[in-house]
Each structure stands twice: as structure tokens, then as C-alpha cells.
């Protein structure tokens, strides 16, 4: 069993248009590296050069925003669902 | 994807009421519609998690819940709106850098004038802002209406339509 990842429209250029992809990893960081091997560029849209999560996206593991779970160090288990949404914010 | 926002008068009124209610803080929300239809039909006022006069941000939990609900109903965010409470209804640099729904109409409402509400709509794709006309559908003819809106486009581009046959 793997981890299901929901991809928003704006990032589907990295997944060949796929809305849902699967990956594996013990942490969110591992998962994003795993995904990037098959979907090049995806990780770069989510993680900054400094190694933090980009503020332009919300990433959830199941029902929780990973900002409250440990960000990229958030632990994952088989069967989890990761949802990526573009942050809606502005001035 | 058309380059005009067609929106029902009652939804537009509800958005303006929300912006006025939250003034001087910025208000924000979504109007969902059937996926691919480009028709905004379900108004969802959202909390501004920033509770600020100069910034807005969807509450992350509420946003996930609303997004799932839209998925289940085969809807998408046709309109994403927020208010500016002291400046014009034009996307700020932060608005442009965050805009992550290329298929949505970004509607801005300015409440800086207590009497007159400014309403303008944009497409924001890859950092490029394109203003589009706002067409108000099913506008009731009410000579006593006290609310007056000012649209960014010239008045000639605002097309008041009679109620649709459907």
C-alpha cells in the first residue's frame, strides 16, 4: 500500500495531468523526494531552497495541515492521504 | 474559460454584504460552481484567518473542508474573492504571487468608500493579471435600490440581462 497524493491543477504539469499520484516515504520529506523521481520539478514547487515548505501551498496529511504536524518531518503511514492545495491568501 | 465574469445579482450582493460586514478587516470567500461550467452558483463566505486590514488568508482547516465538499459535488472554485478596505480593487503584489487557481475569476471588492462599492474581476495566470468585465445576471429593476456599485470596466461593458428562460 502506498500514500495517495492529491495534486492541484496548478501543479499537474508535473504529473502529466494526473489529479492523484502515489508515492512512498516515512516522512513528508521522503515522500516528496520519491515523487520527484517520477514527477520532476514537483518537489521544487513545494519546498524552498532553504529546505522549508513553500508558503504558497497548503499540505495536509489526512485532515491536518502539516504546519501543525512537523512540516516536512511529518511522519507518514501506508494508507495516508496527502492533499496539496494552493494557499489562498494575499493583501 | 471565458474572459468575462457572469455572476448572479444575489450572489454579488451577498459578497458585498460580507465585505461590508467585515470592514475594516479584509473579507474573503469562494463562489463554487459545477466543474467546467464557469458559472458561479454557491457562495461560501470564508473566515479570514489573518483577521487583518491589509492581509487575508483562508483558514487552512475550513479551506480543506470546503475543498472536499466541492470535490464531492463535482464543483470547483469559479470565483475567489476578497476585499480591499483602504485601496482600490486591483490585485496587490501579494495577491498576484499567491494566486494559485489559474482557472478561477479573482474578484476584488473595495469598501474604501462607505457609499459606493468598487467591484472588479481578474484572471491571474503565471503572475499575469488580466482584467475582465463583470456581467451581472438577473438584475432586478429596482429604482429605489440604495446600494450602488462601481465596476472597473466602463459602464458600457456591464451587461444587465433579463432573467434567463431556464
Residue pLDDT, tens place only, B17-42: 999 999 999 999 999 999 999 999 99
Minimum-distance CB partner of A90 among B60, B67, B98: B98
Segment holding B117, helix H or strand E: strand B116-125
Between strands B56-57 and A89-90, the pairing is: antiparallel
Query: Could you tell me the residue range of the domain that residue A74 belongs to?
Result: 3-86
Q: Tell me whether residue B21 is in a domain.
A: yes
A60/B58 touch (CB, cutoff 8 Å), yes or no:
no
Per-residue confidence at B157, pLDDT binned at 50, 70, 90?
A: very low
Rg (CA), chain A: 12
- Tally the domains of chain A: 1
The residue behind cell 495517495 is A4
B103: chain A residues, CB-CB within 8 Å: 9
User: What residues 60-79 of chain B have any CB closer than 8 A to a CB of chain A?
Assistant: 60-61, 63-64, 67
pLDDT at B160 (0 to 100): 43
Residue whose C-alpha is closest to residue A87's, from A54, A64, A52, A62: A54
B93 by Cβ neighbours in 10 Å (0-12 / 13-18 / 19+) ranks as exposed
Of A26, A47, A49, A50, nearest in space to A36 by CA: A47
Compute the average pLDDT of residues B39-50.
Answer: 97
Q: What is the ipTM of this complex?
A: 0.92
Structural domain range at position B10? 5-157
Residue A49, domain member (yes or no): yes
Percent of chain A exceeding pLDDT 70 equals 99
Amino acid at each position: 500500500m502506498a500514500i495517495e497524493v492529491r495534486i492541484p491543477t496548478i501543479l499537474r504539469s508535473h504529473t502529466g495531468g494526473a489529479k492523484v499520484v502515489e508515492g512512498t516515504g516515512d516522512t513528508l520529506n521522503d515522500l516528496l523526494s520519491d515523487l520527484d523521481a517520477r514527477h520532476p520539478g514537483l518537489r521544487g514547487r513545494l519546498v524552498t531552497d532553504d529546505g522549508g515548505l513553500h508558503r504558497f501551498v497548503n499540505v495536509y496529511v489526512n485532515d491536518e495541515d502539516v504546519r501543525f504536524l512537523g512540516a516536512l518531518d511529518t511522519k507518514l503511514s501506508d494508507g495516508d492521504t496527502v492533499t496539496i492545495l494552493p494557499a489562498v491568501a494575499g493583501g | 474559460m471565458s474572459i468575462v465574469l457572469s455572476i448572479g445579482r444575489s450572489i454579488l450582493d451577498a459578497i458585498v454584504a460580507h465585505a461590508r460586514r467585515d470592514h475594516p478587516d479584509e473579507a474573503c470567500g469562494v463562489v463554487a460552481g459545477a466543474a467546467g461550467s464557469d458559472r458561479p452558483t454557491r457562495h461560501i463566505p470564508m473566515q479570514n484567518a489573518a483577521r487583518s486590514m491589509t492581509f487575508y488568508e483562508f483558514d487552512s482547516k475550513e479551506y480543506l473542508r470546503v475543498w472536499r465538499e466541492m470535490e464531492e459535488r463535482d464543483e470547483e472554485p469559479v470565483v475567489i474573492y476578497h476585499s480591499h478596505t483602504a485601496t482600490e480593487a486591483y490585485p496587490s503584489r501579494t495577491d498576484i504571487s499567491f494566486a494559485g487557481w489559474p482557472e478561477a475569476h479573482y474578484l476584488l471588492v473595495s469598501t474604501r468608500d462607505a457609499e459606493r462599492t468598487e467591484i472588479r474581476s481578474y484572471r491571474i495566470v503565471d503572475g499575469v493579471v488580466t482584467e475582465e468585465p463583470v456581467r451581472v445576471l438577473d438584475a432586478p429593476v429596482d429604482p429605489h435600490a440604495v446600494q450602488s456599485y462601481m465596476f472597473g470596466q466602463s459602464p458600457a461593458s456591464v451587461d444587465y440581462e433579463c432573467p434567463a428562460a431556464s
